[in-house]
Amino acid sequence: MRLLERVVEKAHPCTYLPSRQASLEVQVLLDVTAAELEAMLERGWRRFGPMYFRPACTACGECISLRLPVASFSPSKSQRRAARACASLRRVVGAPVVDGARLDLYARWHAMREDVRGWEPNPQTRERYAIEFAFAHPAAREAAFYDDARLVGVGLFDETPHALSAAFFFYDPDYAHRSLGTANVLSLLDDARATGREHVYLGYCVEGCASLAYKASFRPHELLTGRPSMREPAAWKLADG
């Protein structure tokens, strides 16, 4: 891999917990292999395009990396309902795509979040979408959900030798009642199981943040201890409950 830039942000108000101060360590990397990405995922890193990041907050450790052990995962009753509600949708997995349908879907989804959760506007241009969600990478994948010909959900994820990593998901607000986000995670678990992969990474779980706390409802799950360097082994522990 080639490191182009590394920065540690100055502390600023946290997006997830507004009463806290947040900071990210960000690296801009090129030529990262799927195996190298997997080693970073094991140590709490996430990827958007060529940017790799993880928390660097000094006074807070609420952003905890969460992953699902595929062999022992068992869906809850509500998760099984979500799978059934989305069973009629057609799911197409391939390389990430940039087009008008995806930009329109993202805009509608984000507008809904602005209204329901008070998010700040976040216009998505074709160029920005291409960098963040469709950057050329050997691990990059997209799962598109269709109701007949209508695009109703898009999940971006990474595929590494022993794991899948959910990166981002957005959907048609008209389909919110079907719990498409839950169905997307369950589909990734099915994919991982079918290909012999051991884990599905869900990114950071933050207690007290509605946008991220839902991840803990997938059980059993494992949580990363601390922020190990790339030279240190990563310690994951099965969560209680």
pLDDT bucket at 210, cuts 50 / 70 / 90:
confident
Q: Of 94, 70, 97, 89, nearest to 186 (Cα)?
A: 70
Q: Of 217, 231, 239, nearest to 43 (Cα)?
A: 231
**Euclidean distance between CA atoms 240 and 114, whole angstroms:** 34
**Euclidean distance between CA atoms 127 and 72, whole angstroms:** 40
| % the chain with pLDDT above 90 | 88
Contacts of 1 (CB under 8 A, 6+ apart): 29, 30, 31, 32, 33, 36
Name the phi and psi angles at 66, rounded to 5: -125, 135
The number of distinct structural domains making up the chain is 1
Q: Is residue 117's pLDDT more than 90?
A: no
pTM of the predicted model over 0.85 = yes
Half-sphere exposure of 56 (CA within 13 A, CB side): 15
Kindly state whether residue 218 falls inside one of the protein's structural domains: yes
Q: Of 33, 52, 34, nearest to 132 (Cα)?
A: 52
Kindly state whether residue 49 falls inside one of the protein's structural domains: no
Kindly state whether residue 7 falls inside one of the protein's structural domains: no
* Average pLDDT value for residue range 125-135: 96
> In the prediction, which pLDDT does 122 show?
86
Kindly state whether residue 92 falls inside one of the protein's structural domains: yes
* Average pLDDT value for residue range 192-216: 92
The region of weakest confidence among 42-46, 88-92, 112-116, 170-174 is 112-116
> In the prediction, which pLDDT does 241 show?
57
Adjacent-strand bridge partners of 141:
157
Q: What is the pLDDT of residues 52-92, one digit of tens each?
A: 999 999 889 999 999 999 999 999 999 999 999 999 999 99
CATH number of the domain where residue 111 is located: 3.40.630.30
Check residue 212 and report its DSSP letter: H
Where in the sequence is the domain holding 222, given as residue range(s)? 64-238
> In the prediction, which pLDDT does 156 show?
98
pLDDT bucket at 229, cuts 50 / 70 / 90:
very high
Q: What is the pLDDT of residues 230-240, one digit of tens each?
A: 999 999 999 97
> In the prediction, which pLDDT does 112 show?
93
| % the chain with pLDDT above 70 | 100
Q: Is residue 94's pLDDT more than 60?
A: yes
Kindly state whether residue 138 falls inside one of the protein's structural domains: yes
Name the phi and psi angles at 99, rounded to 5: -155, 175
Kindly state whether residue 41 falls inside one of the protein's structural domains: no
* Average pLDDT value for residue range 111-128: 89
Kindly state whether residue 205 falls inside one of the protein's structural domains: yes
> In the prediction, which pLDDT does 120 show?
85
> In the prediction, which pLDDT does 211 show?
80
Contacts of 93 (CB under 8 A, 6+ apart): 141, 142, 143, 144, 191
